[in-house]
Each structure stands twice: as C-alpha cells, then as structure tokens.
Amino acid sequence: MDPHMPSKAGSSFFRTCFNGVNALSGFGILSIPYALAEGGWLSLMLLFVLAAICFYTGLLLQRCMDSNSLVRTYPDVGELAFGLKGRMLIAFFMYLELYFVAIEFLILEGDNLGKLFPQAKFHIAGLKLGGKSGFVIFSALVILPTTWLRNLGVLAYVSVGGVLASLILVFSVMWVGAVDGVGFHERGVAINWSGIPTTLSLFAFCYSGHSVFPTIYSSMADKTKFSRFLFVSFVICTIIYGVMAVIGYLMFGEATNSQVTLNLPVEKMSSKLAIYTTLINPLAKYALIVTPIVNAIEEWLQVSKNRLIGILIRTLLLISTVIIALTVPFFGYIVALTGSFLSSSATMVLPSLCYLKIFKSSRRWNVELVMILAILVVGVLIAVIGTYVSMKQIIRSL
C-alpha cells in the first residue's frame, strides 16, 4: 500500500476496498494450507473467529481516531492513548514486523527458486552454495537496486497486483488438483491439539493489516462507510484464505509444506504459473516494505538529505536480512513467530489497550467491555504460547 497522505478528494469506496483487500491478502495465503494441516479440520473455525476479532479491533481503531481529529496513523493512536511511549511501542511493532516480512520474502524466493531449479549450484567468492542459499543471495542482488530508488511509484503499481496474485495462486493450485492429476483425496485429521498454537499464529499473520487501517480511514472520501469497507475486505480475504486452506489440505494432507507451492509438481504449467506468480511480488514489494524502516532510521540519524548515507543504510539493511534468511531459513516457523509475537499484538492486544485507555472515563461494565477483555486475553495467549512454540521449533531446527 502507498502510505502517502490522501488527496483532499479522498478515495472511493471501491478503491478503498481494493486497498484493504490488498493490505490483507499477503503471502500468508501460501502458508494457510500448512496452518490447517497443523491444526486439523476443526481448526478452520479458528480462522473465522480470528477474522471476526480482527474486524472488531479494526472498528476500535476507528473509534480511537474519531475521538481526535489530529490522529491519522496507528502510532498516532498509540500516542493519544499512552503518550510518546505508546507511539514508540506501536512503531516498534510495526517496523519489526516489516523487517520480519522482508526476511520472509528472501526465504520465499530461495525456497521457490530452489524448487524450480533443484540442481543449481553457486560459486560466490570461492564459496560453494546450494540452490536455496545461492538463490537467496541472487534474489538480494536483484532487489538491491530497487532499494536505492527514492521514487517507488512503479513498484507500488506492481505491488497492488497482490490481490490478482492471490487469485491466480488459488486458481492455479485448484487447477493442479482438479485437472493435473493430484486430486483432492487426502482425509486429514479432525483436530491436532499440539499444532493449534502454530495454526493460530499463522492465522493471526493473515489478518495483520491494522497498521494501514488508520491511513486507509484517513484517505476515505466518505468515512461513514469505514465499517462497511472493513466488513467487505475481511469477508473477501476470509473466503480466499478458506478456499486455499481447504483445497491445499485436501490435496496434500499431513504432507503439506509451509508454502503450498513447494508441494506442487513442478513439471506442470499450472504449477509453474503459481510459483512464478509467488516469485514476482517479493521482488517488487521488498523495497516498499523496508522504506518506512529506512525513513525512520534516516530521521533518527538526521541524514535524510544525504543520498550516499541513505544508500548505505538501505544496503546494510538488505545485507542484515540476507544473513538472517540464510541463518534461519525456516519459512513456516518465521511466519508463525511473526504472527504470534507481532501480528497478534498489533491486531488484538494494542488496539484493545488503546481503546480502553482513551475511553477509560466513560467505560462501564457491559457486554462490550467483557468482549474486549476477552480479546485481550486471547491476543496475549497467542503472543505468549505461539512465540514460545515458534522459538522452540526454530531452535530445534538450527
């Protein structure tokens, strides 16, 4: 999404819905079948529960913004509720989540290119690298020039294709199952309790769009339609996620990988379409994702006008994500960690806390207050348990 401030005319309802769906329909769709495989068929109900919770907390953010006309961004909401510490806390979660997503982009590129070209070997500075590691570095070299750009307008247009990419991916996977011979024969299991924390973490990651909701709200021509926009966006994305989860689990069952594209038979044209569609988006989105982080660093160091230092910062940031992607190349576990520690906090815990703090003088015990407190408990449990499980899986796999 383009984070720039809106024009005075404001965005139409259709364009706002498109932006909302694009903000929510990220590469979490690749891991949604794996999430269902981890938790079993009954865990699909948790997808709808989390969608309803995140929809509601999006409405809480709207109420917080309506309480003060100067509030236009998510960090503004944090500052209104808790002062400078609140702004810094929310900014920390936002920037760290963006950083994790940048790392996941590189792992995704390495895994899928390794799937397409399993025999590839790279010799870099005297080092012999296997396919996936080599492709991570290769992808970084392709991405590097895009991070130096000051005007990201062209990349922004490409990234808007996220909605189209998600639809192409769903139909390609469906085609592999229905036409290319894989079939939908796996029965799966009803429930797998040990996998529920991972399932919840991945589902939470899929609905992590709250950082841009205030910007979208500020850009709307008719702000009274925000709740309708939010409802439409969540319904569309939940349908897309639900369909992908079901068909992926029916196709591959317990053998479902952390990225469903890694299960696809690479010799089929529909599989190649799905994988290439998956590969294109990160190449365009990486620079857009890290730009807010770079801007924050440049403002902190007061070097915004120094182009050479800006290029150095962008290069070092990319190098740091490459190092982590090579050190911890576990896509599913990293996404689960992002979903549990960062997404659940940003989508459930922080909106609820900000709302309770801003409206504390008028708060009374009622059904809504109990519901908000219940959401807080759920968010904290996902954050604590999900983070523990994800870290345990990562450490065990190193």
Which of the residue ranges 45-54, 270-279, 280-289 would you say has the lowest mean pLDDT?
A: 280-289
- pLDDT at position 125: 65
In a domain, 4, yes or no: no
Domain count along the chain: 1
Tell me what pLDDT residue 161 has: 72
Determine contact, residues 348/378, Cβ cutoff 8 Å: yes
Q: How many angstroms separate the CA atoms of 102 and 28, rounded?
A: 13
Mean pLDDT of 236-252: 96
Residues 6+ apart with CB under 8 A from 151: none
Contact 16, 233 (CB under 8 A): no
Asked, for residue 363, whether it belongs to a domain, the answer is yes
Residue 268: inside a domain: yes
Q: The CATH number of the domain where 110 resides is what?
A: 1.20.1740.10
pLDDT at 6 over 70: no
Q: Check residue 1 and give its pLDDT.
A: 37
The pLDDT assigned to 124 comes to 67
337 in a structural domain: yes
**CB neighbour burial string for 201-239, b if at least 16 within 10 angstroms, e if fewer:** bbbbbbbbbbbbbbbbbbbbeebebbeebbbbbbebbbe
pLDDT in tens, 101-160: 999 999 999 999 999 888 877 776 666 777 788 899 999 999 999 898 876 666 666 666
Q: pLDDT at residue 218 above 70?
A: yes
Question: For 12-58, how does the pLDDT look when each residue is reduced to its tens digit (9 = 90+)?
Answer: 888 888 888 888 888 889 999 999 999 999 999 999 999 999 999 99
On the question of pLDDT at 3 being above 50, the answer is no
* Per-residue tokens: 139: 């992808």
Mean pLDDT of 77-99: 94
- The reply to whether 226 falls in a domain is yes
The predicted pLDDT at position 220 comes to 86
Ordered DSSP codes for 47-67: HHHHHHHHHHHHHHHHHHHHT
* pLDDT the model gives residue 318: 96
pLDDT of residue 155: 66
Report pLDDT for 158: 63
For residue 287, being part of any structural domain is answered with yes
Residue 159: the pLDDT is 62
Indicate whether 272 belongs to any domain: yes
Q: What is the pTM of this model?
A: 0.91
Per-residue confidence (pLDDT) for residue 364, from 0 to 100: 79
Percent residues over pLDDT 90 in the chain: 65
| 1 in any annotated domain | no
* Contact predicate 238/51, CB 8 Å: yes
Answer for the pair 33, 244: CB distance below 8 angstroms, yes or no: yes
Residues 6 or more apart whose CB falls under 8 angstroms from that of 224 comprise none
Residue 322 neighbours by CB distance under 10 Å: 22
pLDDT of 171-182, one tens digit each? 999 999 999 888
Of 111, 244, 112, 106, nearest to 166 by C-alpha is: 244
Which comes out higher in pLDDT, residue 131 or 397?
A: 397
Q: What is the pLDDT of residue 343?
A: 94
Domain with 19 in it: 13-397
Question: Does residue 4 carry a pLDDT above 50?
Answer: no
